[in-house]
Amino acid sequence: MNPILTRSPPPSAVFYSLLFAPTPAPTPPLPSASPPAPTPPTRPSRPPSPTRQQLNDMGFSNAAQNVRALLATGGNVHSAIEYILGGGGL
């Protein structure tokens, strides 16, 4: 006869030990594997007002077009003028 089968406890003893065994203490949660990702810097919705004022002083009076041109050119006034004169921002 197989020695493993002769030494094993009866099934009822195994189930009893599983049902009535002491419960282990809960383990603390593990720290997350990686820190949360940093939030990317937000792009300002409008360029600084001195650049808008410069365009307005030069005769570019369409405020919405000026803002679009400055946003498209990263706030560079000279590039924004080229952008507007080239038909951009309409």
Query: How far are the Cα atoms of 28, 36, 51, 75 from residue 58, in angstroms, in the given order?
Result: 66, 46, 11, 16
pLDDT tens digit sequence for 1-15: 555 555 666 666 666
The domains located in the chain, with CATH, are 49-85 (1.10.8)
Whole-angstrom CA distances from 66 to 30, 45, 52, 79 are 52, 13, 7, 11
Q: How does pLDDT run across 17-54, given as a tens digit for each residue?
A: 666 666 677 777 776 666 667 777 766 566 567 888 89
